[in-house]
Structure 1
C-alpha cells in the first residue's frame, strides 16, 4: 500500500451549492467550512501529516467585491473562534500565498501561524491569494537575484512550499477537471482524483474512499 503523507484539496463548488440550496453563493461558502472541519478530523485519523487547502486564488479577486469581503470575514471569524482549538489539537497552520489583505486579517494570520508553529500532529497549509505561476516566476527572480544555479533543488528552495513534501494526492471536488493554477510544480507526480460532488456535499466517507483508492494505486514514477 502507498504511504500517504500529504493531501492537497481544491475545494470547488461552494458557490454553486449555495445557489442551488439557499439561493446564495455566500451560504455555500459558509457550508463549506463544515466540510473543512470534517476533512481535518479524518486527516488526523488517517495519520496524514500535511493537508493543503486551496482557499483563495490570485484569480479569485475577479469575483464580486461583496463575495470577496464575505470570504475574508468568514476566514477571520473562523480563525478567531477555532485557532485555540487547532492549537490544542497540535495542528500547525501555515499560509502559502501573498499576504496583502487588510491589516486586521494579516495580523490574525501572522498570529495564528506564530501560535501554532511548534505543533507537529498535522500541518495545514492554507493557500490564500495563491497562484502557482506567480510562485514560479518569483522563485526564478530570487534565483537570479542571489546568483544561484538553476536546478530543481534551488528552485524548490524559493517556492512557498519549501520544506514541505510534495502532495501524494490531489482531490478536486465540484466536477471540474483542471488544476486552476494550483501547485503546478509540486503536483508533477501526484495522483489526482476528480470528485463530482460539490465541496459542501463531500463527506468523510467520500474522503476515506479516495484515500483507500490512492493507497492501492500502482505508482510508477516513469518506471514500468
Structure 2
C-alpha cells in the first residue's frame, strides 16, 4: 500500500508557501535498534523502509528536490560489518525500487564520491543514474561518501582555477549547483547539529529538528516539518 501523499503548496517563499528543496539528516537508526534490543542492521533496514515511504508520498506534491544524507565521509570509521550492512542495503534498495522510481519519474542523483564503494555497488549506482537521467519528477539526491567541508574546498579550488573566487562562482561548482536552493533541512533523532552536511547550502535554509528516530519518521512527520516551514517568515538577512 503506497504511503499517503503529502499535500504541499508549491513555492519557495514564506507565509504558507511550501519548500521546493528539502534535505534530511536521517539520524537514529542505531538507537532505534538498541531500544528494541535488535542488531544495528535492523535499524538500518527500517530506515530504508522510511525512505521508501517518504519518496512515494512526494509524488504529485510541490517538492522538486529531496536530498538525503545516507553515508558521510566520516562513516568509514564505523565497523567493517556495519559498512557492509549499509552497502548491502543500498544495493537491495536500488534493485528493488529502481523500477518504481522510473515509473514515477523520479530522477536519482548522487553527491559525494560513490566510487569509493565496492565495484558492484558502483555499477548499480551508475546504472540507476543513467536510467533515471531524463526523468522529470522529484529529484532524489543521495549523499554518499559526502562531506560538506570537502565539497566547499573542491568548489573553491575549481572557482580559483577558473580565475574568479566569489560566492556565485563557488556556488556554481558545488555538487548541488543544478538543484533549487535549499529551503528546509530536517534532522531526526533529537541531535541539533549539521554534521558536515550541506553547510554552504544551509546558509539561509530553515532548520527543523525532531526527536523522532529516523525509522519512525513518517510522511505525516514530514508534513509537520513542512507546515512549520510554511509558518515562518524568511528574511534572508533583511528586516
Distance 2:60 2:155 in 1: 35
- Is 1:61 the counterpart of 2:76? The answer is yes
In the alignment, structure 2 segments of 5+ residues that lack a partner are 1-15
SS of 1:118's partner is coil
Name 1:137's counterpart in structure 2: 153
Q: Distance in 1 between matches of 2:156 and 2:204?
A: 21
Aligned length: 223
1:123-202 aligned within 5 A: 123-146=139-162, 148-202=163-217
Cα distance, 1:41 vs structure 2: 2.1
* Alignment correspondent of 1:120: 136
Residue matched to 1:107: 123
Rounded to whole Å, the distance in 2 between the matches of 1:30 and 1:179 is 23
CA distance in 2, matches of 1:178, 1:30: 24
**For each residue in 1:88-132, what CA deviation from the matched residue of structure 2 results, as whole angstroms up to 9, or x when unmatched?**
100000000012211111111111000000111100000000000
Structure 2 residue aligned with 1:70: 85
Structure-1 separation of matches of 2:119 and 2:161: 29
1:2–1:217 contact (8 Å) kept in structure 2: no
Separation (CA, whole Å) in 2 of partners of 1:44 and 1:52: 15
Partner of residue 209, structure 1:
224
RMSD: 1.1
TM-score, L = length of structure 2: 0.90
The aligned residue for residue 237 of structure 2 is: 222
Gaps of 5+ in 1: none
* CA distance in 1 between partners of 2:144 and 2:136 (Å): 22
TM-score by length of 1: 0.96
Shift of 1:166: 2.1
